[in-house]
Chain A
């Protein structure tokens, strides 16, 4: 696999399949990338930096998906082909087959958007070559991206129950627990669940997972409040200062958060922290308008980003370097 639009869903599919195939015994998934730098420059040295960054991201995703599974699934990460120059589909297939033999892997899942040849379509020949080497090959049956993102995902019983419960409790919190409120609340919650259950959750909600996130969110909220209060005072100072010391600028950076809800949380947190205003977000690329030099610095320190990663993926993910360390600083053109 390599970085692609369908990679996230392919990882989810692989984890699900591994959990389904495990039958109690722990199953192991190997996420494998081909060394990529030499596909561009055959004579250059093998540069594993990008590949390891990709694998780190995949491992965070896999952890997220594993949290929702009962069966135990082991995850291994690997880069293959660093020791040789790969050119044709059968060379790629050889490299992968060697890896599969060495690690006792019998089934290969390919990301449908994966394309090893730089530019030339090579996925189909690769799959054929892999089959010839007695491997069970399939493309992950994931949705290709469309021009308009699909809102409708499949609704499951658990999603309906979660949405129904949440809206019913909310209704009762505003109501008074009378018979009338219970009945109308039930109707309303039913309607909300029917309409929204397929949309709200990206993947299966599980109680433990939600509880953990709620606790982390409860840790995050006071921190965010404190940041808001502190920064508001700074803005009050700037606005009330006679000479209006502002130096506004549009900046762009790629945030290291993934998925709809985390990105939305980060975007809104950035807007709430005064001096920074999220103007546009595409995938992970943020366009942020900042009021003063100091607020820009704060943004690139990445403490907010870190906190959001902590809420959704725990402490390990919080240790990913800040935008400044990643060299994401950039002015908008």
Chain B
């Protein structure tokens, strides 16, 4: 295997790892805000790493450019969507979970 292929494997593996972290976080974290953290960021990095791996191994020039564009748009749209969700939650008056809730017997 060429070096670029090793690098691509490492990137995709990293992407898969952060995708897993995002999924676990989504299940384990207590409320909408904290879950948005997991869903938006670990997810962004996961997708970006995977796309980076793709861009490395695809030989066709054009496809690489497209992968890089996808990567850029990922960085622009993911935080925007996360912000929209969090803002909607706040507008609905949802109180953020704090450690006090955990002491009061709320689900961790």
Contacts and interface: CB of A to CB of B under 8 A. Distances in A.
Interface of A: 173-174, 176, 228-229, 231-232, 235-236, 239-240, 244, 246-250, 267-269, 271-275, 277-280, 287, 289, 291
Contacts of B69: 173-174
26 contacts: A174-B65, A231-B41, A232-B41, A235-B21, A235-B25, A236-B17, A239-B38, A246-B30, A247-B99, A248-B33, A248-B99, A267-B83, A268-B79, A268-B80, A268-B83, A271-B40, A272-B44, A272-B78, A273-B41, A274-B42, A275-B37, A277-B40, A278-B86, A279-B87, A289-B86, A291-B37
B62 A280 contact: no
Interface of B: 17-18, 21, 24-25, 28-31, 33-34, 36-38, 40-42, 44-45, 62, 65-66, 69, 75-76, 78-80, 82-83, 86-87, 89-90, 96-99, 108
A269 B78 CA distance: 11
Interface of B is mostly: helix
B99 A279 contact: no
A277 B21 contact: no
A246 B33 CA distance: 12
A275 B83 CA distance: 13
Nearest to A280: B87
Given A248-B98, A277-B40, A277-B83, A289 B65 contact: no
Contact of B24 (A240, A249, A269, A287): A240
B105 to A, nearest CB: 16
Contacts of B17: 236
B28 A271 contact: no
Nearest to A269: B79
A173 B70 CA distance: 13
A268 B24 contact: no
A269 B76 CA distance: 9
Given A249-B98, A272-B44, A279 B18 contact: no
Contacts of B42: 232, 235-236, 239, 274
